[in-house]
Amino acid sequence: SAVISQKPSRDICQRGTSLTIQCQVDSQVTMMFWYRQQPGQSLTLIATANQGSEATYESGFVIDKFPISRPNLTFSTLTVSNMSPEDSSIYLCSSTGTGGTDTQYFGPGTRLTVL
Amino acid sequence: RKEVEQDPGPFNVPEGATVAFNCTYSNSASQSFFWYRQDCRKEPKLLMSVYSSGNEDGRFTAQLNRASQYISLLIRDSKLSDSATYLCVVRGAGGFKTIFGAGTRLFVKA
């Protein structure tokens, strides 16, 4: 299993600013994922973050807007850059944990509101 | 066509009712299948994996039909605490790309 924490849990930001979200896993994991969930919608994968290499972004998401760091096997950050109100969403960090399990575990999410 | 499609819902049922959720997926090479539950303002959590042979966990039964690319979840004797959004989740070939359905909201009423 994996216990995942995120911070901040929520933030209200002005447009044009940037916010960095931190994700910490309680065990060493190969892959970490960043999702976005807009109100009333399901989860959309932003990118997959592997330690020691650049993140792999999904269609519609670019590194300049959502830079990701993965400095070690337990930690990752997602930055939402040059924010606009359309970036208001819940951002969720996820990992499949250890032991080769298929189960995907999620952090509690960061609720971002951009004014 | 969406990669994973679910009943749009919401479902409003009385306590004790049996409710069924349906889900279809488009990629025949998909490898793993799950149902997740997401409570309001909370993160998704695994409810159960879905196997070709079907599997049951208490009041919950999941079925997979690979030929029809169809997944179902049956909840028997529903409780107030079952009220949540149920997400159909499919993991593609290669093991790591996970697609979430839009979810079906369930309201169980007393």
* Chain segment A4-17, per-residue pLDDT in tens: 999 999 999 999 99
Lowest mean pLDDT among A93-102, B59-68, B98-107: A93-102
Which residue of B90, B98, B104, B105 is the best one to mutate when testing the A interface, meaning the one whose CB has the most A CBs within 10 A? B98
Q: Is B45 touching A (CB cutoff 8 A)?
A: yes
The residue-averaged pLDDT of A14-31 equals: 94
Distance between CA atoms of B84 and B106, rounded to whole angstroms?
Answer: 5
pLDDT at A65 over 60: yes
Do residues A109 and A4 lie in contact, with contact meaning Cβ atoms separated by under 8 Å?
A: no
Helix, coil or strand: residue B16: coil
Of residues B34, B31, B15, the one with CA closest to residue B23? B34
The Cα–Cα gap between B105 and B110 comes to: 17
How close, in Å, is residue B78 to chain A by CA atoms?
Answer: 23
Give the closest-approach CA distance of A50 to chain B in angstroms: 12
Q: Cβ of A33 under 8 Å from any chain B Cβ?
A: yes
What are the distances in angstroms from CA B50 to CA A43, A44, B30? 20, 21, 12
